[in-house]
Chains A and B, each alone.
Chain A
């Protein structure tokens, strides 16, 4: 029996002898899908999920990471609710993330657009923008420590010359977190730039030509044609940067160590203090799981919102 069924997607019909194409597609899709992801699922399951579940179990214990712990049920979680230092760290983390992510994403977009050209010396510029990503956290922190030194740093010297008073930067509880934002945006910009540059390559030249022919200015074409096409990359970047911002640790560890007076203590830094300085392994795990839930919720929301914007592409 010859059946001709329209394949999904609306491509032109081809006269073929093909029984029940849809059903075949479904089964071979399932097999193919699982075949493609099985090594990944296996490896990440083993080295990613199992430790995560393990640590979850730990959060219900009073444990110092070495000796067998004792079960305390939800006590660790209850303690969190009454811990002012934890609340402080949550506030700091949220403030940091809300500033860092938009600044980084928009900055990366603009810089990537600027770098997506053919002018002389472009290779140099691209490498220059990428260098901060390669630079180790220690080197970055040392450099920013010097540049932002309240007494001798170049930034204050420059500010003084234009009549602005010296700022405290890392030493000032009101400015320390912002200084960290500055340092991390500097370090992450290049990452966003290369993601966007890769994404910009897939923007079809035809669309741009068409827009030009319609009399679209460069600026409008950028925002109305290219940026929407970058939605998947933007979604990826927003989610990845948010996940990282909420887990900020290294930069705090090598600069302010949570100070001054707790103004840069973020959740993961507080977790580190609890686990490796105070040896409250169970409590630290509980903190990690509250953070995990927060990240999960935020990411799910971002994915849902993102799907709405790019549903045309699915």
Chain B
């Protein structure tokens, strides 16, 4: 007896199994490139969205149309924040794209691995014009003297300000000879507690976002992050103290700084006229509402040095066999050439990665379309130092960011913060990669 329920149960299990099988074998194609009859298929993984995604899709389509022997497939990596995790997982599983967009900060983690292609010989080919890339970009793509990436994106930090708020407070616009004192005084005047208006916004979430703005200030004062052999920290210095003291003075004493939690609210507030000045990059320009009259200027300087900091990202090539590597390099050379990238920037408003892009015919239209970018392009020459590409950098960044967070909320004194950060950084460096 009881055959009916048994039958039903068996049927249910069978249906589930059949569906699983169907789902398993049904949809799903192997993204890994294959070689068939002279055509090499390669994949390019990226995190572009919106305008940039459209632009890169168009460029790849035009390449595929004119190059039947090398076909490129675009794969979205889930957003660049997850790119490294996905790349590492892909490496572990043995399925990687041929070209991938990686944050500059990922270079340390990926450089030197057998799956990553060493591009040093390839970029030194004179036709590639490696020196056309800005020096800090080349530094960011290099690790231990070898080149592992080609610059995909470059940006930098500059001053963006709300002209209307300046007019209302009677403060004259920032100039290219502003000092930290000028900056601090302006922020104070632009702060109005009764309407909750702040002169400056700083990202205070303790992450690299907190650290890298501070690094720009450190470098302006002539300080350095690490000793020249890279084994000890060097930022607990008078230069470091001056930079930290400025943060303290503005955030705690003057209370002229809005502390952003890392959720990007500072931009929404900027759009609503609650914040007068930002230290940010060109990526934020397209999110500024059309009714906000803004201006851009290079960062205020300490001792006349207007150093800024950049966050270049790289295209990296992965080892999937000689044929695909060659095809990938051919495509990448085209993608990162001045002409192609110039077209890309015209569509997206990204900054030129090669100096020669400023000489292109399209450059004037670029500036006309993105007037805010002018200062950022200029500012590229103010970027003289790059963050070190060592495996311990994330820990150093975390140490500094966390301590600066404490300074900004008034919990830690500047000197204590530097002492703690230096101690943590040194122990991380001593432990080694």
| Residues on A facing B (Cβ under 8 Å) | 64-67, 141-142, 145-146, 149, 151-152, 168, 170-173, 255-262, 273, 276-279
Offer 16 A-B interface pairs, CB within 8 angstroms, sorted by A.
A64-B109, A66-B92, A67-B113, A149-B261, A256-B205, A256-B261, A257-B205, A258-B206, A259-B402, A260-B206, A261-B412, A276-B84, A276-B88, A277-B395, A278-B394, A279-B433
- From known contacts A66-B88, A151-B258, infer whether A260 and B265 are also in contact, taking CB-CB under 8 Å: no
Q: Is the CB of A66 within 8 A of B113?
A: yes
Q: How far does the Cβ of A147 sit from chain B's closest Cβ, in whole Å?
A: 12
* Residues of A close to B412: CB separation below 8 A: 261
From residue 78 to 120 of chain B, which have CB atoms closer than 8 A to chain A?
Answer: 84-85, 88, 91-92, 109, 113-115
B259 at the interface (CB under 8 A from A): yes
* Residues of B close to A149: CB separation below 8 A: 261, 265
State which of B66-74, B363-371, B403-411 sits at the interface with chain A: B403-411
When C-beta atoms are compared, the residue in chain B nearest to A254 turns out to be: B263
- The 5 A-B pairs of least Cβ separation, nearest first, read A259-B206, A277-B394, A261-B406, A145-B263, A260-B405
Q: Is the CB of B395 within 8 A of A278?
A: yes
* Residues of A close to B405: CB separation below 8 A: 259-261
Q: Is the CB of A260 within 8 A of B409?
A: yes
Bound CA span A277–B106, Å: 9
Q: How far does the Cβ of A208 sit from chain B's closest Cβ, in whole Å?
A: 32
Q: Is the CB of A170 within 8 A of B261?
A: yes
* Residues of A close to B204: CB separation below 8 A: 171, 260
* Residues of A close to B398: CB separation below 8 A: 273, 277
* Residues of B close to A276: CB separation below 8 A: 84-85, 88
When C-beta atoms are compared, the residue in chain B nearest to A260 turns out to be: B405
Interface residues on B, range: 35 or more
Task: Count chain A CB atoms within 10 A of each CB in B261, B265, B391, B406 and give the residue with the most.
Answer: B261
Q: Is the CB of A146 within 8 A of B85?
A: no
Bound CA span A152–B273, Å: 13
Q: How far does the Cβ of A200 sit from chain B's closest Cβ, in whole Å?
A: 28
When C-beta atoms are compared, the residue in chain A nearest to B407 turns out to be: A261
Q: How far does the Cβ of A253 sit from chain B's closest Cβ, in whole Å?
A: 10
* Residues of B close to A278: CB separation below 8 A: 391-392, 394-395, 428
From residue 401 to 433 of chain B, which have CB atoms closer than 8 A to chain A?
Answer: 402-403, 405-406, 409, 411-412, 428, 433
- From known contacts A276-B85, A278-B394, infer whether A66 and B91 are also in contact, taking CB-CB under 8 Å: yes
Contact bitstring B250-272, A, C-beta under 8 A = 1, else 0: 00000000110111010001000
B4 at the interface (CB under 8 A from A): no
Of the residues A66, A171, A261, contact of B261 by C-beta under 8 Å? A171
Bound CA span A67–B206, Å: 30
* Residues of B close to A261: CB separation below 8 A: 206, 402-403, 405-406, 409, 411-412
* Residues of A close to B84: CB separation below 8 A: 276
- From known contacts A146-B265, A260-B409, infer whether A279 and B206 are also in contact, taking CB-CB under 8 Å: no
Q: How far does the Cβ of A158 sit from chain B's closest Cβ, in whole Å?
A: 15
Bound CA span A146–B204, Å: 16
B179 at the interface (CB under 8 A from A): no
Give 14 new A-B contacts, CB below 8 A, not counting A260-B405, A273-B398, A277-B395.
A65-B88, A142-B263, A146-B265, A151-B258, A168-B409, A257-B205, A257-B207, A259-B206, A259-B402, A261-B402, A261-B411, A276-B85, A278-B395, A279-B109
* Residues of B close to A259: CB separation below 8 A: 205-206, 402, 405
* Residues of A close to B259: CB separation below 8 A: 171
Of the residues A65, A142, A172, A173, contact of B92 by C-beta under 8 Å? A65
Q: How far does the Cβ of A308 sit from chain B's closest Cβ, in whole Å?
A: 35
Bound CA span A142–B268, Å: 13
B196 at the interface (CB under 8 A from A): yes
Q: Is the CB of B262 within 8 A of A257?
A: yes
When C-beta atoms are compared, the residue in chain A nearest to B108 turns out to be: A279
When C-beta atoms are compared, the residue in chain B nearest to A66 turns out to be: B91
Bound CA span A257–B211, Å: 14
- From known contacts A276-B84, A277-B394, A277-B398, infer whether A255 and B411 are also in contact, taking CB-CB under 8 Å: no
Q: How far does the Cβ of B203 sit from chain A's closest Cβ, in whole Å?
A: 11
Q: Is the CB of B205 within 8 A of A145?
A: no
- From known contacts A66-B91, A259-B405, A260-B406, infer whether A151 and B196 are also in contact, taking CB-CB under 8 Å: yes
Bound CA span A67–B262, Å: 33
* Residues of A close to B91: CB separation below 8 A: 66
Bound CA span A151–B428, Å: 36
Bound CA span A171–B409, Å: 8
Bound CA span A257–B81, Å: 14
* Residues of B close to A255: CB separation below 8 A: 261, 263
When C-beta atoms are compared, the residue in chain A nearest to B397 turns out to be: A277
Q: Is the CB of A257 within 8 A of B206?
A: yes
From residue 219 to 271 of chain B, which have CB atoms closer than 8 A to chain A?
Answer: 258-259, 261-263, 265, 269
Bound CA span A273–B394, Å: 9
Q: How far does the Cβ of A36 sit from chain B's closest Cβ, in whole Å?
A: 11
* Residues of A close to B206: CB separation below 8 A: 257-261
Q: Is the CB of A279 within 8 A of B113?
A: no
Bound CA span A66–B91, Å: 7
* Residues of A close to B402: CB separation below 8 A: 259, 261-262
* Residues of B close to A258: CB separation below 8 A: 206
* Residues of B close to A146: CB separation below 8 A: 265
Q: Is the CB of A173 within 8 A of B411?
A: yes
Bound CA span A262–B420, Å: 13
* Residues of A close to B428: CB separation below 8 A: 278
* Residues of A close to B115: CB separation below 8 A: 66
When C-beta atoms are compared, the residue in chain A nearest to B205 turns out to be: A257
When C-beta atoms are compared, the residue in chain B nearest to A173 turns out to be: B411
* Residues of B close to A65: CB separation below 8 A: 88, 92
Task: Count chain B CB atoms within 10 A of each CB in A66, A173, A257, A259 and give the residue with the most.
Answer: A259
Q: Is the CB of B205 within 8 A of A173?
A: no
Bound CA span A159–B258, Å: 20
